[in-house]
A and B are shown apart, each in its own frame.
Chain A
Amino acid sequence: MRKGVAAVEKRISYLFQLAHLCITSKDVDKDMCRYHVRNLKRISKKNVIRLHPDIKRKLCKHCDLLLYAGITAKVRVSKRPQRAINVQCIECKSVKKYPCTNPEYKLWIEKCQDGKE
């Protein structure tokens, strides 16, 4: 592992928790959430750290919001034109599609872990 990466990874996870706080608290503050997520993305780019896909799936690519089902995101299931789960950001209306055509699809990370075991 490279030197000093552990400190930056902690910082990234801390910023992610802060973004969660901004949305789940009583006063929903979407601007602060975007501020923290934007810092998160810039730090990971600057230090060349690959984010876990679970983190990436919760962030909107266009407007940097935390996608929280019900509060900031619309989760819908579609049959046509493709069987998929669609997650739409309420603010910027950009869509993330997760198609379920192949039930045996595995992410790269999951394949690695299975291979090691």
Chain B
Amino acid sequence: MYSPLNPEITEEARKFGLQAVKDDFVTNFLISTLPEKRIRQGELENLEYFKQNLDNKRTRKRTPKNFNRKSLTSRERRKLKLFDIPKEGHKFETYLPMHELWKEYMRETLGLTDKTKTFDQYNCESILKADFHGCFLTVSKSCCPSYIATTGIVIMETKNTFKIITKQNQVKCIPKRNSVFMFEIDGHYLTLYGNNFCCQPVLRSTHKFKPKKYVAL
């Protein structure tokens, strides 16, 4: 069952005075310790069966715990790697219909479809609660000069970043801090100041934004 040890190891063991354990160790131990009655009844034979079983272990099928729980745990979600966007293999064209949907959604929220209302600054409060997945953003100003003038459609929004796919089929991750974004609807240009916008997209619907001082970049 097991391959023998290297001869070097056995030589060194002999120097220390160690001896190899014989296979009969367990039976000799049992014979010396058990009372005579149990040996006569034939318990040694039963115990040999148990001795062998230590090596041939059968693994039980583990059913997943609490499968009937209603939602995935965060560990399971990490295993599935659901929300990691791969850097290659995405095309800009697949996200164009998303952008068309977003335009219609934005027109309804800002009130551009109602011809009776005019487009004021006061409509812009509804942008704070709106969704930006599918928006065509550009970075107009930022502290880091390599981010400026990147444009693309927003795939994912997190607490501190926007994930954008550019026309060259590249996925870029742009932080919101210290940068200013701009987007366009029907001829109106709107700016977003990233410093004041650092919030999870889900929590933004109930968040009360405090007025922050604007520092020119």
A contact set with B: CB distance below 8 Å: 4, 7-8, 10-11, 14-15, 17-18, 21, 25-27, 29, 31-32, 34-36, 39, 42-43, 46-47, 61-64, 92
Contact = CB atoms under 8 A, between A and B. Distances in A.
B129 to A, nearest CB: 5
B71 to A, nearest CB: 6
24 contacts: A4-B129, A7-B109, A7-B126, A8-B205, A10-B109, A11-B129, A11-B131, A15-B133, A18-B98, A18-B101, A21-B98, A25-B94, A35-B83, A35-B156, A42-B202, A46-B203, A46-B205, A47-B206, A61-B70, A62-B69, A62-B70, A62-B72, A63-B72, A64-B72
Nearest to A27: B94
Nearest to A42: B202
Given A34-B82, A36-B133, A61-B70, A11 B202 contact: no
Given A34-B82, A35-B156, A47-B206, 8 more contacts: A4-B129, A17-B101, A35-B82, A36-B133, A42-B202, A43-B205, A46-B205, A63-B72
B194 interface: no
Contacts, number: 63
A53 B101 CA distance: 24
Nearest to B76: A63
A5 to B, nearest CB: 10
B201 interface: yes
Contacts of B155: 32
B105 interface: yes
Contacts of B83: 31, 35
Contacts of B82: 31, 34-35
Interface of B: 69-72, 82-83, 94, 97-98, 101-102, 105, 108-109, 126, 129-131, 133-134, 155-156, 201-203, 205-206
A34 B85 CA distance: 13
A46 B101 contact: no
State the majority secondary structure of interface residues on A. helix
Contacts of B134: 18
A88 to B, nearest CB: 14
Contacts of B94: 25-27, 29
Contacts of A7: 109, 126, 129-130, 205
Contacts of A64: 71-72
A21 B202 contact: no
A47 B130 CA distance: 14
B105 A46 contact: no
Contacts of B109: 7, 10
A92 B83 CA distance: 17
Contacts of A36: 133
Contact of A21 (B101, B126, B131): B101
B92 to A, nearest CB: 12
Contacts of B97: 21, 25
A17 B97 CA distance: 11
B71 A62 contact: yes
A45 to B, nearest CB: 9
Contacts of A43: 202, 205
